[in-house]
Chains A and B, each alone.
Chain A
Amino acid sequence: MSRRVLIVIAALALAAALVFAARPHEATADERIDQIAAELRCPVCQGLSVKDSTSETARQMRDLVAQRVREGRTNAEIEAEFRAAYGDWILLSPPVASWSGLVWLVPVAALAAGLVFVTGRLRSTDAPPPAQPSAIDVAALRDRVAREEAAEG
Chain B
Amino acid sequence: MLARVVRIAVVVALLGLTVTLALAFRRDPHDIKTGTILKAAPTFTLQRLDGSGEVSLADLSGKVVVMNFFASWCLPCTQENPALVRVYERYRGSDVVLLGVNLQESRENGLAYVKRMGMSWATLADDDGRVALSYGVFGPPETFFIGPDGVIAGRHIGPIAEDTLVTAIETLRARAVR
Contacts and interface: CB of A to CB of B under 8 A. Distances in A.
A54 to B, nearest CB: 13
B24 to A, nearest CB: 16
Interface in B91-138: 104, 128-130, 132-138
Given A43-B138, A44-B139, A57-B139, A63 B36 contact: no
B21 interface: no
A85 B128 contact: no
Interface residues of A, number: 16
A86 B35 CA distance: 5
A60 B36 CA distance: 19
Given A56-B104, A57-B104, A57-B139, A89 B133 contact: no
Q: Which residue of B35, B39, B132 has the most chain A CB atoms within 10 A of its CB atom?
A: B35
A85 B138 contact: no
A87 B136 contact: yes
Interface in A38-95: 43-44, 56-57, 60-61, 63-64, 82-89
Contacts of B132: 60
Contact of A84 (B36, B104, B130, B137): B36
B33 A87 contact: yes
A86 B34 contact: yes
Nearest to B129: A60
A31 to B, nearest CB: 22
Given A43-B137, A44-B139, A60-B133, 4 more contacts: A61-B129, A84-B36, A85-B36, A89-B33
Q: Which 7 pairs, one residue from A and one from B, show the smallest C-beta to C-beta distance?
A: A60-B129, A85-B136, A87-B35, A56-B104, A86-B136, A43-B138, A44-B139
Interface of B: 32-36, 39, 42, 104, 128-130, 132-139
17 contacts: A43-B137, A43-B138, A43-B139, A56-B129, A60-B129, A60-B130, A61-B133, A64-B133, A83-B35, A84-B39, A85-B34, A85-B42, A85-B135, A86-B35, A87-B136, A88-B35, A89-B33
